[in-house]
């Protein structure tokens, strides 16, 4: 039976009960508008832990002034239905004032990692992510926390934060879930028109191109990115924010591609900004 | 029997054992060079908890470039002797590389509070404090952590951080311990010559003056500070960094003194920067 908890006080009490029973906790932090990507995290959490906690909180601190905070999809009832079907018992669904009470003024900065890639276009975004995730970690005290590979930079930053701050939490990063044509699932895909949805396939196509080139022995980053850009440019509605090939821990750009490097990109399709990435293996 | 633990791994193991036995932990973070101020914290921690952990770590991140990191007093053997006598069993004494491994890049900022008062003269100081205290909290998982009132701004910042980040830690602030003449105990007092030690009494004298004026019904901040300055100026070796009367939670300067406001100051005696404060009660 799905229990929705809105207050921090009740959540702490619940977590205490779970901990006192020596049960392990798998935690899936989300902003709701759940899709198969989230559900894949939930399924893994469930497989690996006694209890699963899913948080649903559209975190204002991680949205820029001109971003889509107001329009971000909110589908709470449907989310609960989906989670119920997965056998989730516990959803944390706090109000903004519960998470950020009057006078709240603490932020967490993972320097070096937060201002690269998406951080350039979205200044402050990853500080907002880091602080809310840290708060949720403190509240829910999970043994493992689950994140999707799609939000690659986010996963790198959270892993670094957890390591730097000596948290005993296993950060698990699971593969990006795609539709049958390759489009990475994202809550923001609902913004896309039917035409844009087709255009948006160029993201994955360009990533596949990069993988193929690397497999065929091409290691020149510039050359690979040039070919990727050609694919993106075939789409009238696409604008490139960035395409980079980076070290998966430092996010430093590589000039020579190595096994395990990550090709990561942010592309605007019409007015919708989409991100995607693949880990290069060859 | 006092056990000194240097590695994070061993410390985590030890804390796990304590937690598994359902014992409570009182934690006293220090930079060593212990004095009666620290020992008063230790005694309270011991009275209120099953186990006491004292950390000794001279935290480089909280020292400015031209500050006294290299010369900060280090008296480890004597510290252990003192703690042994107090019946402390557990000291955490990590190396710098243990706390800040390669690639460490996370910082914690308590905005609004960190750049006031001491933060003006010591930019970055409180970020260094916040991050190391947060790391130690994660490692040691205390029920309560003990701090001295002397480091007033530090206590306000740590309380705010603990609240903002939803940590389940009781932050206990205990009264400043003074020598018989009123000088607040501080590890940095060893820098003072005999003459300077006498000069340094002007800090407490000026604070007592403020308390007396408030008690006698004077609420005009400027008037009180003017009288305090007169006392400081009688000392040839004293230079005022700041004297402020502030709200004890927001650190905002008050123009009209209220019960519970804090008079706080930083004064250089020769080359040594000393801080002190009193809570005004009337």
Question: What tokens does B192 get?
Answer: 């003072």
Identify which of B164, B160, B139, B143 has the alpha carbon closest to the alpha carbon of residue B5: B139
pLDDT number for residue B250: 97
The answer to whether the beta carbons of residues A146 and A26 sit under 8 Å apart is yes
CA dihedral defined by A55, A61, A65, A71, rounded to 10 degrees?
Answer: 10
- In chain A, which residues have their Cβ closer than 8 Å to the Cβ of B167? 138
Burial label for A210, CB within 10 Å (0-12, 13-18, 19+), is buried
Average model confidence (pLDDT) across chain A: 97
Nearest C-alpha in A relative to B113: A105
Mean pLDDT of B66-73: 96
Interface contact B111-A103, CB threshold 8 A: no
Q: Which domains does chain A have, with CATH numbers?
A: 3-174 (3.40.50.620), 187-277 (3.30.1300.10)
Query: Is B185 flagged in the annotation as binding?
Result: yes
d(CA A70, CA A62): 12
Chain A: give the shortest CA distance to residue B196, in Å: 38
d(CA B136, CA B213): 41
Query: How many distinct helices (H) and strands (E) make up chain B?
Result: 10, 10
Among A19, A111, A166, which would you mutate to test the B interface (most chain B Cβ atoms within 10 Å of its Cβ)? A166
Kindly state the percentage of chain A with pLDDT values over 70.
100
Kindly state the percentage of chain B with pLDDT values over 70.
100
- In chain B, which residues have their Cβ closer than 8 Å to the Cβ of A166? 8, 135, 138-139
pLDDT number for residue A89: 95
Nearest C-alpha in B relative to A113: B105
Interface contact A166-B139, CB threshold 8 A: yes
B111 close contact with A: CB closer than 8 A: yes
pLDDT number for residue A27: 98
pLDDT tens digits, one per residue of B102-157 = 999 999 999 999 999 999 999 999 999 999 999 999 999 999 999 999 999 999 99
Backbone angles phi, psi at B89, to 5 degrees: -105, -15
- In chain A, which residues have their Cβ closer than 8 Å to the Cβ of B106? 108-111, 160-161, 164-165
pLDDT number for residue A113: 97
Mean pLDDT of A49-76: 97
Query: How many distinct helices (H) and strands (E) make up chain A?
Result: 10, 10
**Which of B105, B112, B168 is closest, CB to CB, to A160?**
B105
Place of tokens 């090709």: A263
What's the distance, CA A120 to chain centroid?
17
pLDDT tens digits, one per residue of A134-165 = 999 999 999 999 999 999 999 999 999 999 99
Chain B: give the shortest CA distance to residue A216, in Å: 33
pLDDT tens digits, one per residue of A105-131 = 999 999 999 999 999 999 999 999 999
- Give, as one character, the DSSP assignment of residue A253: B
- In chain B, which residues have their Cβ closer than 8 Å to the Cβ of A139? 166
Interface contact B166-A135, CB threshold 8 A: yes
Question: What tokens does A102 get?
Answer: 């009057």
Per the annotation, binding residues of A for ATP are: 31-38, 148-151, 177, 185-188
Mean pLDDT of B31-57: 98
pLDDT tens digits, one per residue of A260-274 = 999 999 999 999 999
pLDDT number for residue A44: 98
A161 close contact with B: CB closer than 8 A: yes
- In chain A, which residues have their Cβ closer than 8 Å to the Cβ of B161? 106
Among A164, A169, A252, which would you mutate to test the B interface (most chain B Cβ atoms within 10 Å of its Cβ)? A164
d(CA B233, CA B61): 33
CA distances from A164 to A1, A131, B120, B188, B244 (A): 37, 14, 27, 29, 35
Q: Which residues of A144-157 are buried (b: 16+ CB within 10 A; e: fewer)?
A: bbbbbbbbbbbbbb
Active site residue B38: yes
DSSP bridge pairs for A265:
A243, A276
Q: Which of B38, B111, B138, B233 is catalytic?
A: B38
Mean pLDDT of B79-83: 98
């Amino acid at each position: 039976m799905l229990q929705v908890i809105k207050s921090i006080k009740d959540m702490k009490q619940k977590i205490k009960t779970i901990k006192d029973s020596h049960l392990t906790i798998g935690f899936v932090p989300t902003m709701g508008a759940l899709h198969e990507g989230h559900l894949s995290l939930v399924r893994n959490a469930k497989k690996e832990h006694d209890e699963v906690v899913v948080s649903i909180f559209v975190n204002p601190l991680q949205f820029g002034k001109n971003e889509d905070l107001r329009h971000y999809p909110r589908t709470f009832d449907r989310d609960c239905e989906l989670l119920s079907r997965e056998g989730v018992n516990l959803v944390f669904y706090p109000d903004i004032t519960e998470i950020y009470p009057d006078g709240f003024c603490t932020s967490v900065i993972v320097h070096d990692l937060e201002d690269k890639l998406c951080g350039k276009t979205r200044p402050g975004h990853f500080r907002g992510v880091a602080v809310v995730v840290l708060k949720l970690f403190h509240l829910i005290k999970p043994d493992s926390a689950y994140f999707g590979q799609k939000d690659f930079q986010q996963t790198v930053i959270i892993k670094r934060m957890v390591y730097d701050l000596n948290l005993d939490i296993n950060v698990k990063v699971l593969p990006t879930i795609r539709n049958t044509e390759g489009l990475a699932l994202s809550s923001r895909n609902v913004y896309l028109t039917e035409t844009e949805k087709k255009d948006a396939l160029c993201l994955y196509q360009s990533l596949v191109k990069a993988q193929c080139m690397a497999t065929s022995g091409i290691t020149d980053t510039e050359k690979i990115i040039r070919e990727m850009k050609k694919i993106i440019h075939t789409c009238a509605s696409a604008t490139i924010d960035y395409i980079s090939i980076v070290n998966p821990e430092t996010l430093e750009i590589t000039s020579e591609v190595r096994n395990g490097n990550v090709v990561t990109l942010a592309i605007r399709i019409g007015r919708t900004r989409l991100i995607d990435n693949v880990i290069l293996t060859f």
